[in-house]
Structure 1
Amino acid sequence: MDRSWMYKKHNTLEYVHGVQEFVKIAEEYASKIGENYIVCPCYDCRNLKKFRSSEQIKEHLIRRGFKLGYDWWIWHGETVLTSNSTNQRECRKNVEKDQSNENNVGNDGDNDRLDEMMRDMQGDLNEMPQEFESFFASSGKPLFSGCSKFTKLSAVLKLYTVKAKNKWSDKRSTELLELLKGMLLIENELPCSTYECGASRYKQKGLDDACEQKKGPPAKLLWYLPVIPRFKRLFANAKDAKNLQWHASGRKEDGKLRHPVDSPQWKNINKKFPDFGAENRNLKLGLCTDGMNPNGNMSSRHSTWPVLLTVYNLPPWLCMKRKYIMLLLLISGPKQPGNDIDVYLAPLIEDLKMLWNEGVTVFDAHSQTNFTLRAMLFCTISICRKNVFMSHRTFLPIDHPYRKRKKTFNGKSETGVARLPLSGDVVYE
């Protein structure tokens, strides 16, 4: 579709008709995703403001014109694709391949799925518009003039993957970037250092104040990936929307514990909150976290804590697949978050509270209807500390080889014998 009219004079009939067509598409997209507001792409608002009235959007566009470079209407329903034609074809192939192999979630192949990542980032307009604009610009910018295989964003992500797989330090990866930038000879978009690659770093609003009020450590580097847009995207896929009701319509009920839906906890929740349990599409979620050292060096003073979410509405063969496990938070810093982890969970807690109290309007592609989605935290899985009872070797037979092992246990051999079990009367006394 020719969109040269977007940057012509605003008083021409062609421009006015184009604006009317754009507003119509924007209204259809807002209705499809259950949104009451439309993002304004005018020269002044720059997709950073939303309005309820489409007439106000139309007025802004006729008076002020479109923001520069908004040829792909990514904020109004169009698929995010790079400007390079080769990349467009590849993205379309990847999307079609992903849609035709939805049940084969174990075969990820070499598909970097940049378009999906961009759509995920695009979901929350208020939290990170500038960061998204930066990512979108990088996703459409060739690595160098004439390059059709890599964009700036795809090249950086692939180099990050190599860095992670080989456990390179920032210093070593910076040396590689400097070498590659010099080898390319011609002018290119490759960053000069690992630090420049992290262009999307930002602090969650209010996090510093919350840490200060708790008199805790200074805010760490926090990445929060909003969960609500991803729930909307799950329901926007007809097969996923159908699978999310498996717990109510597709499972085998034989009295056996095959899935969390068979547990007394699930049934008690539906009984205690009948309004929530009456809607099969309401989500029951599992949250888990644990710390790790991404550098693989136990002596390094660095800790990264990923916070993951799984949806228990899905069948058991899907809910633990990588495709459906959502990374919500990355907390990175020289120390573990400890008891202050609740401070870093604050943005997630706000979204979960809204999903429980108010809910959000979501389009269900399976039933082709809008409904109010609510969600609750069904369970949490966390590893806080590990208790080991060293004296239990006394229960082993007297000639058991474990009794003589020292290094494996507490550095001592075990020669004692466990006492006989106490009777009920003795315990009572």
Structure 2
Amino acid sequence: MIEDLEDFLKHQPKILESLVDGSKKLLYPGCNDQFTRLSRTLKLCKLKMKNGWTDKSFTKMLKLLADILPPNNEFPISTYEAKKILCPMSMNVKKIHACINDCVLFCHEYEHLQTCPKCRASRYKREGNYSSSVDKKGLLRREVRNLRLGLCADGMNLYRTLSSQHSTWPVLLTIYNLPPWLCMKRKYIMLTLLIPGPKEPGNNIDIYLQPLIEDLKLLWDKGERVHDAFSQTDFTLRAMIFCTISDFPGYGNLSGYTIKRAKACPICEDATIDLRLNNCKKNVYMGHRTFLPLNHPYRKRKKSFHGTVETRVARLPLTGSEVLECVKDIDVVLGKLYKNPTPNSIWKKKSIFWDPPYWEHLQVRHCLDFMHIEKNVCESLVGTLLNIPGKSKDGMKARLDMQEMGIRVELAPQQSGKRAYLSPACYTLSRKEKSAFVSVYLV
């Protein structure tokens, strides 16, 4: 292991010294020369990986082994300590204070200020720790070894409750140079930002992304001189954000697009075909047939689709340069205390991602996390099939809206005295069928 890493670590003597020291340090005084701290830790970590041990169980086993060995042994007593022995390479964490109202970060020219230069809020007097923890990673052009990074962001509750009183936002970078079965492994994912607080940053997330974007711009313009251990050559490594990955609300925060109301589709934009449901009180989007071939039979089925024949075709998505023309003049003051006027366009801000010079030339800039879409669709289907209260999409309001639209007339509510009766649909299951469905679903 030391021989393989020696060429790679020759520019980092402290890391190499730590590994060499671990390979020579005996596990306990008087033991066999083969029982070194590094070798025994490496063998146990291999067993942990092959047998799928959890970190918690592995820590308990390490503590037990440390108690069994003679006193003054060098055996690690936790999973964290074992990983530090095997992987002494780590990145420093820089904590940057943020204004409680998301106005600015206390860095650069604001580094020594005690109050926010915009809202005058105290830098330190706050209900919790709203500092932003930044991991700075040193490191596209035509060099195939340059890094293509995917930026992932989403809110989560650290306290495992469904309460909306807390929302911590991690911002991760994944390396898309790696094959699919590796790029999503934990050790290849970099935590670049951690934004804690009682509420999500929303559109003000650009304030917290500033240090990361600055580093990425530097890595694109100047790059970092690194050593290629395989070819034994030095080269300038550059990096770029390949795309962002988030759920749909996060899409709106990162891109600056308005993802609610009538024009919620970021691809169709002004050409979005929407319909307001009077009973369900929500917007639905009925223009999906525009994506079908012109000779597709669904285009002529009036009764199934709002009683109209579809002759339109879907418009092409705007290019990055065209989107930049739409947002370049939007002037928005970020921060919770500032109420910006409602923009005339469907874009609510110019995202900070437009700062890197390559962003407007990317064909796809923002991607949706398929896991969220798959989960929500699955929940809706299962809830409708089993008629789960609060989860089913089939109800009195939905039937009344379909009646107003003139589609699925056989499903219109039937009035019987003072009560309304909903006719069974093709997906309505009996009690026996529901039991059979659940039994298969659970298996």
Q: TM-score range by the shorter chain?
A: 0.3 to 0.5
TM-score, normalising length: structure 1 = 0.39
Higher helix fraction (1 or 2): 1
Q: Which has the higher contact order (CA 8 A, sep 6+)?
A: 1
TM-score, normalising length: structure 2 = 0.38
Q: Which has the larger radius of gyration?
A: 2
